[in-house]
C-alpha cells in the first residue's frame, strides 16, 4: 500500500463516492467558484512559505492544491488527498496540464492517510474535514502528520441558521416540514459548525494555538450569470441542501422552488445571484 491509499470506504464518506461526488464532479467549476471567497478569506489568515510541504485534505478537483503548489514553489510540494477517484483524476490532469510536477494527488481516506508522522509543514482544507465518521481520531491523525509548529488552516461552514442565504433557503423549506432534524453529530457540511465543540475537538487532537474566526461575505450562488430560477434549481436539485426535500410531494417541491427563486431575484444582478454567507476559518499549529 502506498502513501495515502485507501483500503475501505469510510463511514460518512460513502456519499462522496456516490451521488454527492458525481454531482460535485459534474458541476465542479460552479462549486469551486462558489468556494472562491472562502479561499480568499483563508489567504488573509496566512500562507504556506516557499519550500513548504503541504497536505490538502479532501482536495476535490485539486483547485486549492494547485494554488498551494504555486505558493510553495518547486522547492516545496503540495499533496492532495480525496476519497473520490473521479475528482482525483481531474486534479491529476489539471496539475499535469499546468506543468506542476511538485503537485501530487492520491485517492485516499484523509482520516487515516498513510504519510510519515511529522512530514508536513502545512495542513490545509477548504470544506473537506466535515465528513469524518470519527472526528477525534481523524484530527489526532492529521495533527500527527504535521511537524512541530506546522500551520493548519481549515475552513468549515457555520451553522445553517447563522449562514446568510442558507438560513433563508432553510427557512423556506422549514415552513413545509414538521421538525428540522438536529444538526451537528453526523458527518455532513455542518458537522463542525459549533465552535464550542470544534475548539476542544482540535485541542484534544493535539493542535495548539487554535483560533476560530468568523468570516462573512458575499458568495455567488450557482454558475456565473445564472437566473434566479436556475440558481434555485441548482441549490435544490444539485446541492446536498436540496436533499431535505427528497421526501416531499412534487407540488410542494415546486412551491419551494418558486419561493427560493423569488428570494434569489432580490439578490440577482448581471453576474448572477450573490448573497451573504458565513464560515469559520480555523487556524492552529501542530
Residues found near ligand SAM in the complex (CB under 6 A): 10, 13, 16, 21, 24, 32, 35, 58-60, 63-64, 81-84, 87, 109-111, 126-128, 131-132
Choose between 113 and 263: whose C-beta lies nearer to ligand SAM.
113
Give dist(CA 53, CA 75) in Å, integer.
9
Question: Residue 8: exposed, middle, or buried by beta-carbon count in 10 A (0-12, 13-18, 19+)?
Answer: exposed
Task: Write out the three cell numbers for 269.
Answer: 444582478
Min separation Cβ 67 and ligand SAM, Å: 10
CB of 83 to ligand SAM, least distance (A): 4
Task: Look at strands 208-221 and 272-285 and give their pairing.
Answer: antiparallel
> How near is the Cβ of 73 to ligand SAM at its closest, in Å?
21
Which residues, including other chains, have CB under 8 Å from residue 225's CB and lie 6 or more apart? 270, 271, 272
**Toward ligand SAM, which CB reaches closer, 133 or 212?**
133
Q: Which is nearer to ligand SAM, 202 or 256 (CB)?
A: 202
DSSP string, 30-53: HHHHHHHHHHHHHHHT--PPTT-E
What's the closest the beta carbon of residue 173 comes to ligand SAM, in angstroms?
20
**Residue closer to ligand SAM, measured from CB, 135 or 257:** 135
Give the nearer residue to ligand SAM in terms of CB position, either 3 or 174: 3
> Quick one: how far is CA 60 from the chain centroid?
8
CB of 174 to ligand SAM, least distance (A): 23
Amino acid at each position: 500500500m502506498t502513501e495515502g491509499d485507501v483500503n475501505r470506504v469510510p463511514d460518512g464518506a460513502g456519499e462522496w463516492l456516490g451521488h454527492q461526488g458525481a454531482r460535485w464532479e459534474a458541476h465542479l467549476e460552479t462549486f469551486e467558484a462558489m468556494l472562491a471567497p472562502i479561499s480568499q478569506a483563508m489567504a488573509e489568515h496566512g500562507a504556506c512559505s516557499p519550500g513548504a510541504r503541504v497536505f490538502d485534505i479532501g482536495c476535490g478537483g485539486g483547485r486549492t492544491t494547485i494554488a498551494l503548489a504555486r505558493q510553495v514553489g518547486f522547492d516545496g510540494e503540495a499533496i492532495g488527498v480525496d476519497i473520490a477517484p473521479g475528482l482525483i483524476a481531474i486534479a491529476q490532469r489539471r496539475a499535469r496540464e499546468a506543468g506542476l510536477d511538485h503537485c501530487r494527488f492520491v485517492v485516499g481516506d484523509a482520516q487515516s492517510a498513510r504519510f510519515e508522522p511529522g512530514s508536513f509543514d502545512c495542513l490545509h482544507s477548504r470544506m473537506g474535514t466535515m465528513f469524518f465518521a470519527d472526528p477525534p481520531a481523524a484530527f489526532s491523525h492529521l495533527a500527527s502528520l504535521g511537524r512541530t509548529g506546522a500551520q493548519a488552516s481549515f475552513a468549515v461552514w457555520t451553522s445553517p441558521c447563522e449562514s446568510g442565504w442558507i438560513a433563508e433557503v432553510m427557512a423556506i423549506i422549514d415552513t413545509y416540514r414538521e421538525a428540522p432534524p438536529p444538526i451537528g453529530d453526523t458527518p455532513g457540511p455542518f458537522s463542525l459548525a459549533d465552535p464550542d465543540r470544534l475548539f476542544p475537538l482540535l485541542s484534544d487532537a493535539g493542535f495548539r494555538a487554535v483560533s476560530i474566526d468568523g468570516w462573512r461575505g458575499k458568495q455567488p450562488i450557482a454558475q456565473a450569470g445564472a437566473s434566479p430560477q436556475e440558481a434555485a434549481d441548482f441549490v435544490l436539485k444539485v446541492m446536498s441542501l436540496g436533499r431535505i426535500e427528497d421526501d416531499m410531494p412534487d407540488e410542494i417541491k415546486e412551491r419551494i422552488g418558486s419561493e427560493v427563486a423569488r428570494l434569489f431575484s432580490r439578490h440577482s444582478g448581471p453576474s448572477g445571484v450573490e448573497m451573504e454567507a458565513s464560515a469559520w476559518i480555523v487556524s492552529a499549529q501542530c
